[in-house]
């Protein structure tokens, strides 16, 4: 039996379809690797950072369970960070201030200087002092605001 040659499919058929003996067949189409060709859509819960309300801080041979809301400010000391709390205690962390900053919620903590991060709930006032801007905390500590950190602080001003 002699085969008829393949013919062009009728309009409206799949572009890869060909006619054989009056029957329409679809050629195999290359399988697309969806992992590499389509954009990755992440679940918001997976991509959003997690900010804890408590953290363990080193205190010699013990770790103290500290509420993040009790932190007044953090001060960099070379590769270490001093964590100052509402109970007038200070804890020395072996992590740098940038590492700790990534773990703190940006709505609660703001970097105001290369070496200082403050808890916004413990800010009493902000005032100008001749050529600089000074932030005063509830414990009467005054910290100069670095000029590179002014834009973030100005966003808080109504």
Ordered mean pLDDT values, 10 residues apiece, the chain (158 residues): 56 54 52 51 64 88 93 96 95 94 94 96 91 93 93 83
What residues contact 78, with CB distance under 8 A and at least 6 apart? none
Does the CA dihedral 34-36-41-45 come out positive or negative?
positive
Say what the pLDDT of residue 5 is.
56
Looking at the structure, tell me whether residues 86 and 135 fall in a common domain.
yes
Say what the pLDDT of residue 29 is.
47
Say what the pLDDT of residue 153 is.
85
Looking at the structure, tell me whether residues 84 and 149 fall in a common domain.
yes
Say what the pLDDT of residue 157 is.
79
Cα distances (angstroms) measured from residue 17 to each of 5, 7, 21, 25, 32: 14, 10, 13, 6, 19
Indicate whether 7 belongs to any domain: yes
Looking at the structure, tell me whether residues 19 and 90 fall in a common domain.
no
Indicate whether 121 belongs to any domain: yes
- Are 83 and 91 contacting, i.e. CB atoms less than 8 angstroms apart? yes
- By DSSP bridging, strand 116-119 and strand 109-113 are antiparallel
Indicate whether 38 belongs to any domain: no
Looking at the structure, tell me whether residues 141 and 76 fall in a common domain.
yes
Alpha helices in the chain (DSSP H): 34-37, 44-47, 97-103, 150-154
- Whole domain around residue 126: which residue ranges? 54-154
Tokens 């001749």 — which residue?
A: 130
Residues constituting the chain: 158
DSSP tag of 122: G
Looking at the structure, tell me whether residues 63 and 23 fall in a common domain.
no
Say what the pLDDT of residue 77 is.
96
Indicate whether 42 belongs to any domain: no
Say what the pLDDT of residue 86 is.
96
Number of domains within the chain: 2
Q: Model's pTM, two decimal places?
A: 0.68
Burial class (CB in 10 A: 0-12, 13-18, 19+), 71: buried
In CATH, what number is assigned to the domain containing residue 146?
Answer: 2.40.50.1020
Looking at the structure, tell me whether residues 26 and 88 fall in a common domain.
no
């Amino acid at each position: 039996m002699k085969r008829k040659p393949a013919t062009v499919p009728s309009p409206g058929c799949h572009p890869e379809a060909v006619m054989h003996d009056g029957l329409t067949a679809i050629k195999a189409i290359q399988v697309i690797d969806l992992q590499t060709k389509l954009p990755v859509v992440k679940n918001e819960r997976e991509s959003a950072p997690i900010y804890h309300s408590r953290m363990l801080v080193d205190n010699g041979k013990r770790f103290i369970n500290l509420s993040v809301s009790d932190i007044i400010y953090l001060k960099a000391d070379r590769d270490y960070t001093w964590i100052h709390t509402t109970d007038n205690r200070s804890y020395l962390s072996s992590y740098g201030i940038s590492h700790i900053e990534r773990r703190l919620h940006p709505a609660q903590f703001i970097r105001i200087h290369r070496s200082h991060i403050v808890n916004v709930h413990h800010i009493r006032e902000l005032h100008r002092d001749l050529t600089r801007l000074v932030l005063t905390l509830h414990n009467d500590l005054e910290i100069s605001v670095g000029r590179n950190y002014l834009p973030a602080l100005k966003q808080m001003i109504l």
